[in-house]
Amino acid sequence: MLGRVKVAVVGGTGFMGDLHAKVVFESDSAELAAIVDLNEELGLKSAEKYRTRYVKNVDELLAENEVDAFIVALPDRLHVDMSVKLLKAGKNVLLEKPMADTLEGARQIAAAEKEGGGRLMVGQLLRFDPRYAQAAKAVRDGDIGDVVHVAAKRYSLRNVGIRMNGRSSVCFYLGIHDVDAMQWVTGKKVKSVFARAVSKVMAENGVKSEDAIFANVEYEDGTIGSLNISWALPDYAGGGISAGLDIVGTKGLLKVDTTDHGLNIQNESGYSLPDGLHWPEVYGLTTGDLKEEVNHFVAAVRDGRPFRITVEEAMRAVAVNDAVLKSVETGAIVEVESV
């Protein structure tokens, strides 16, 4: 494929959709071919901002067959239908995490990729975070020996859970990052989980959702771990995300702490920790992990190279999340289904 890759963003007026549209618009290797969104008013505004066209659904673009790739940035419970349609049409798809909100949905998407001949990459952002990537390399290189135990956490603000208003689980909206990291960084597969949930803050705000889910996990080789995810932090908590990964091995340990990106601002309005890695805006341009993710997708589509995350790996993260929610529901230890 020569020249700039033509990319359409589906769900382009949402928070993540707009970020993706901006990155593509600023890219030297991609052309923002269209904004796709059901909300015509917002879609037209977005198309004007990024100097592209607006379409209400993907059917028009598929009929024209001029778009090379699609970024799907819809809510996770809408991933299956849209991704299946695009992949069956033979299109390349960058799908915002999670791959799906159920393992069955993920399987449908994987089957559509094989049937249509398109290529799928799931946007697990931590794969492009230099801290997590270096941690994975350190484990692969044997710097800490064999992994003994793992602890992952991700805490976010309660306004995130309230904004989602039951449209996603804290497990899939936040925890999918860490479930992927727990398997990718260690190079080991989670075999079973035992999880518990609590709901107080969300219940007080009329939201049918968990505040937090804590889970113990066992890997196939007997390694043990813990996963703690929450969107119950008070909204004044600096930074908005408190996340990390601790791994102890037979010959050493490593610690990833993402709370502080190296800049803190304090004034009469409070204390903040601005994003310095995920999608910070510097001199008016978006940089960081998201830019690296989109540029990797575009370059891999253009050059026919493999994606940094396989479909099987993305499905495996969904399978673990499925088991976590089943454990919460049943109160039992749940085996992770194979993918």
Above 60 in pLDDT, residue 1?
A: no
Above 70 in pLDDT, residue 318?
A: yes
Q: What is the pLDDT of residues 79-132, one digit of tens each?
A: 999 999 999 999 999 999 999 999 999 999 999 999 999 999 999 999 999 999
| Strand pairing class (92-96; 120-123) | parallel
Output the pLDDT for position 238: 72
Q: Which two tokens mark 279?
A: 């999608």
Binned at pLDDT 50, 70 and 90, residue 2 comes out as low
CA distances to 81, 91, 313, 318 from 85, in Å:
6, 9, 22, 20
Output the pLDDT for position 3: 80
Angle between helices 15-26 and 289-303 (to 10 degrees): 60
CB 29 within 8 A of CB 302: yes
CB 293 within 8 A of CB 279: no
Helices (H), the chain: 15-26, 40-49, 59-64, 79-88, 103-116, 130-140, 158-164, 170-173, 175-184, 201-204, 289-303, 311-330
Q: What is the pLDDT of residues 130-174, one digit of tens each?
A: 999 999 999 999 999 999 999 999 999 999 999 999 889 999 999
By percentage, how much of the chain surpasses pLDDT 90? Answer: 90
Q: Which two tokens mark 86?
A: 């695009």
Q: What is the pLDDT of residues 18-74, one digit of tens each?
A: 999 999 999 999 999 999 999 999 999 999 999 999 999 999 999 999 999 999 999
